[in-house]
């Protein structure tokens, strides 16, 4: 939908939720790739633990959401629960060690006793896994190594015909930060606070889609943004425009982020420009190498808009204006929806039905916006269904409304003839 005040397209709450799910899934896929590569580092004894703050509740919620989809596709039921002991009750303070215990249980066929002994060895599988050709026998081996690296242990208990339970414990430390890491996500950034400089930001990336995504994140708050598609263009824009901060992609054809960073940082005035490296790798060795080349910080792909803006605030001291999160309006039931739709022009209903059948998202959005002036309540409610991509229900509701309107019209015409 379009924001009337700014004239910009804005995402509805439902669309934002779907995009957040896609984003977390992308992060999950990247993590899987990196973990496969981690196995070689574990075997070579080169894996290191790098502590960082994170939101445990958000992590668990994201895992539950992704695993629930996989479970549903397999016809399984997934239940998840969490029990946390508050810091005040535990008597702990920031930085104190905390032992986190996790338990994963199933009601499957179980694992035979003779298979349990080698279960955490690389490339070892249970008899059922070998029979069905499932997995590669690496997952539990990597998990065991990670548990030990984090100062914990992992155990397994299984009964044939009953199920299996894995229990692992790791050592963590309570974060020193008192506020949530993503406190601003619930309160969207709507602009830059007045009385600041015109912040200039350069996006250097040879992929047009990646540049466009960054620009779309940076322009709405009010940053001045320019783009560069290769190394020389980045240097040329810096010499002409002197941006306050550069988002520099490090590993792509025709764009050597290391060389561009070194050229800019070694030039007169270059040290005043903050350069944040963008890279897909999460290896600590590569992060250290990038920072050693002169970059001021490192952001791993994929990233969230909130993280992006937070890092700009960290390096430039930018001050934002935050909006309030919109509250969702109560949804109608289907009977009320059909009644409301009956009052709308049949021509509009026909266009909405066709757009929903074709799954033309932009067209559905336009039609909802068209009718919002006439009936704000039904526009908001149908938007909820569109946000959930529930076009099948939209089609059914429109068809029922048109049928009832047609039947009502026929009845009135018969009464008129009588």
HSE-up of residue 353 (Cα within 13 Å, Cβ side) = 17
SS3 state at 78: coil
Are 364 and 387 a contacting pair, CB within 8 Å? Answer: no
Contact 208, 335 (CB under 8 A): no
Does the pTM surpass 0.75? The reply is no
Q: In this predicted structure, what is the pLDDT of residue 247?
A: 95
pLDDT at 352 (0 to 100): 92
Tens digit of each residue's pLDDT, the chain (418 residues): 555 444 445 666 667 667 766 766 666 666 556 656 666 666 666 666 777 777 777 677 667 766 776 677 677 888 888 776 544 344 556 678 888 999 999 988 888 888 888 888 876 665 555 555 455 566 788 888 888 888 899 999 999 989 999 999 998 888 765 443 344 445 788 899 999 999 999 999 887 877 887 888 899 899 999 999 888 899 999 999 999 999 998 765 555 778 889 899 999 999 999 999 987 655 555 677 778 878 999 887 667 778 899 999 999 999 999 887 555 455 577 788 888 898 888 999 999 998 888 878 778 888 988 887 777 788 888 888 887 777 888 988 898 888 888 877 666 666 666 5
Residue whose token pair is 């005043």: 272
Residue-level pLDDT at 186: 54
Instruction: Take residue 140 and report the two structure tokens written for it.
Output: 């539990």
Residues with Cβ within 8 Å of 215's Cβ and at least 6 positions away in sequence, in order, are: 203, 225, 227
Asked if omega into 302 is within 30° of 0 (cis), the reply is yes
Could you read off the pLDDT of 261-309 as tens digits, one per residue?
989 999 999 999 999 998 765 555 567 777 887 899 988 766 777 889 9
pLDDT at 315 (0 to 100): 95
CB contact at 8 A, 290 and 250: yes
Size of the chain, expressed as the number of residues it contains: 418
The terminus-to-terminus CA distance of the chain in angstroms comes to 47
Cα–Cα distance, 385 to 398 (Å, whole number): 12
């Amino acid at each position: 939908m379009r924001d009337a005040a700014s004239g910009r397209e804005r995402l509805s709450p439902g669309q934002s939720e779907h995009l957040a799910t896609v984003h977390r899934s992308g992060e999950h896929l990247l993590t899987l790739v990196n973990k496969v590569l981690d196995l070689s580092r574990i075997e070579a004894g080169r894996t290191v633990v790098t502590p960082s703050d994170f939101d445990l509740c958000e992590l668990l919620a994201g895992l539950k959401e992704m695993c629930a989809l996989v479970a549903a596709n397999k016809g399984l039921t997934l239940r998840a629960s969490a029990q946390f002991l508050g810091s005040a009750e535990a008597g702990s303070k920031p930085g104190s060690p905390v032992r986190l215990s996790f338990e994963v249980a199933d009601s499957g066929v179980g694992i035979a006793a003779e298979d349990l002994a080698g279960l955490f060895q690389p490339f070892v599988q249970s008899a059922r896994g070998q029979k069905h050709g499932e997995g590669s026998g690496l997952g539990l081996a990597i998990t065991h190594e990670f548990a030990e690296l984090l100062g914990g242990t992992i155990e397994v208990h299984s009964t044939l015909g009953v199920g299996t339970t894995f229990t692992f414990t790791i050592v963590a430390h309570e974060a020193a930060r008192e506020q949530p890491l993503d406190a601003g996500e619930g309160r969207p950034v709507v602009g830059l606070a007045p009385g600041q400089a015109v912040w200039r930001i350069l996006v250097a990336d040879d992929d047009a889609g990646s540049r466009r995504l960054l620009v779309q994140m940076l322009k709405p708050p009010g940053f001045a943004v320019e783009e560069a598609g290769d190394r020389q263009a980045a240097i040329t824009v810096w010499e002409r425009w002197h941006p306050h901060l550069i988002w520099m992609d490090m590993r792509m054809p025709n764009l050597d982020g290391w060389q561009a960073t070194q050229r800019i940082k070694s030039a007169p005035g270059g040290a005043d420009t903050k350069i944040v490296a963008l890279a897909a790798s999460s290896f600590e060795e590569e992060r250290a190498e990038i920072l050693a080349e002169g970059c001021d910080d490192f952001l791993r792909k994929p990233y969230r808009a909130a993280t992006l803006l937070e890092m700009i605030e960290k390096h430039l001291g930018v001050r934002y204006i935050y909006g309030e999160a919109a509250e969702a309006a109560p949804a109608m039931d289907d009977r009320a929806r059909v009644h409301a739709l009956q009052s709308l022009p049949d021509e509009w209903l026909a266009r909405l039905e066709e757009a929903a059948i074709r799954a033309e998202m932009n067209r559905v959005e336009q039609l909802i916006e068209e009718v919002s002036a006439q009936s704000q309540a039904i526009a908001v409610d149908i938007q909820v269904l569109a946000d959930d991509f529930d076009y099948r229900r939209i089609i059914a509701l429109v068809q029922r409304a048109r049928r009832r309107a047609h039947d009502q019209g026929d009845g009135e015409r018969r009464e008129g003839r009588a």
